[in-house]
């Protein structure tokens, strides 16, 4: 598999230019005027100890006022204990420990409920493994001011994925294409997990009815947001493969996604609200 591994799939100069424009626009950097204390970044973790100790300080550098919630599923590597130690030194880091591994979808539902109970206004999803670069966080916060859901998109213009094996890239790219065609959801990156929701969006979704646990969780959430008539906006991000820790990707996750897509296809016959 390794000889298929490419150094970079950053393809179109156009997409790089649009990322640069976003980062250079002064309006996109000015997050001081925003109340970032109303912002919660939810990070689900399973065996991410090495990553989380590095990621939390990086997020704090970019958005010092934001709060971070780690939802850990009793990671055998002690991620939970490690987060608890870090949280003792700050009042902006929180931990919810769940008793067993139940997949990223259930972890996010727990995190969303916690966010709603604690009255946060802007609620992020973010992976722990540095695939989602914290430098984009301010761009999301600017875009969410006029939208209900902002998605960090790998496929908005070309393919902005670095270091993924070709097999994984093809699965993701064509998975996304298939997801759009089958479900009808008009989003370029339907399976991505770098997102920011306005709280009202989550309040209007029956979180207990969300059944997916793997990638299809992202598709299922997008579907409900779209069907509820919310404003969805994609911003370009460059996604980098994890460098530390182990992947949780499995064939079970792919199977689950296929079943969900066909379920949504039938549900799509009913009109969008
Ligand atoms: N709480 C919890 N977090 C999970 C679970 N499965 C995955 N995660 C976390 O969800 C995020 C995304 O999972 P990844 O393993 O990175 O999945 P991926 O991006 O598809 O795969 P790789 O990047 O190739 O490892 C990471 O922060 C994981 O630690 C789970 O069962 N419970
Ligand atoms: Mg990952």
Taking only the tens place, the pLDDT of each residue in 44-56 is 999 999 999 999 9
- CB-proximal residues (5 Å) to ion ligand 2: 127, 129, 131, 242
Residues with Cβ within 6 A of ligand 1?
44-46, 48, 71-73, 101-104, 107, 127-129, 131, 242, 247-249
Q: Which domains does the chain have, with CATH numbers?
A: 2-267 (3.90.550.10)
pLDDT computed for residue 268 by the predictor = 67
* Three state DSSP letters for the chain: CHHHCCCCCCCCHHHHHHHHHHHHCHHHCCCCCCCHHHEEEEEEECCCHHHHHHHHHHHHHHCCCCEEEEEECCCCCCHHHHHHHHHCCCCCEEEEECCCCCCHHHHHHHHHHHHHHCCCCEEEECCCCCCCCHHHHHHHHHHHCCCCEEEEECCCCCCCEECCCHHHHHHHHHHHHHHHHHHCCCCCCCCCCCEEEEHHHHHCCCHHHCCCCCCHHHHHHHHHHHHCCCCEEEEECCEECCCCCCCCCCHHHHHHHHHHHHHHHHHCCCCCC
Q: Is 14 exposed, middle or buried (0-12, 13-18, 19+ CB in 10 A)?
A: exposed
| Residue of minimum CA distance from atom 20 in ligand 1 | 249
- Specify the residue for token string 């339907």: 190
pLDDT for 64 equals 95
Ranges of the chain with pLDDT below 70: 1-35, 249-250, 253, 268-273
**245 CA: nearest ligand 1 atom:** 25
Residue with tokens 């991410």: 48
Distance 246 CA to ligand 2 centre (A): 9
- As a whole number of angstroms, the distance between CA 102 and CA 210 comes to 13
From the CA of 51, the nearest ligand is 1
Q: Which ligand has its closest atom nearest to the C-alpha of 215?
A: 1
């Amino acid at each position: 598999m390794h000889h298929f591994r490419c150094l970079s799939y950053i393809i179109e100069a156009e997409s790089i230019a649009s990322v640069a424009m976003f980062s250079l626009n002064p309006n996109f950097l000015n997050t001081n005027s925003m109340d970032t204390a109303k912002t919660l970044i939810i990070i689900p973790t399973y065996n991410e100890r090495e990553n989380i100790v590095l990621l939390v300080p990086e997020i704090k550098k970019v958005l010092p006022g934001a709060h971070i919630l780690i939802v850990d599923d009793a990671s055998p590597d002690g991620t939970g204990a490690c987060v608890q130690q870090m949280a003792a030194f700050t009042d902006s880091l929180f931990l919810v420990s769940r008793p067993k591994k139940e997949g990223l979808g259930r972890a996010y539902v727990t995190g969303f409920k916690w966010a709603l109970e604690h009255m946060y206004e802007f609620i992020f999803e973010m992976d722990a493994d540095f695939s989602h670069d914290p430098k984009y966080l301010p761009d999301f916060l600017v875009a969410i001011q006029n939208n209900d859901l902002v998605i960090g998109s790998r496929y908005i213009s070309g393919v902005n994925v670095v270091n993924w094996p070709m097999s994984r890239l093809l699965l993701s790219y064509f998975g996304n294409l298939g997801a759009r065609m089958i479900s009808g959801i008009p989003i370029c990156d339907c399976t991505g997990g770098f997102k920011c929701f306005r709280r009202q969006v989550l309040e209007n979704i029956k979180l207990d009815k969300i059944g997916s646990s793997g990638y299809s969780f992202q598709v299922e959430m997008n579907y409900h947001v779209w069907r509820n008539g919310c404003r969805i906006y994609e911003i370009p991000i460059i996604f980098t493969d994890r460098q530390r820790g182990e992947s949780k990707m499995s064939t079970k996750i792919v199977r689950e996604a296929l079943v969900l897509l066909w379920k949504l296809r039938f549900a799509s016959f009913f009109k969008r609200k």
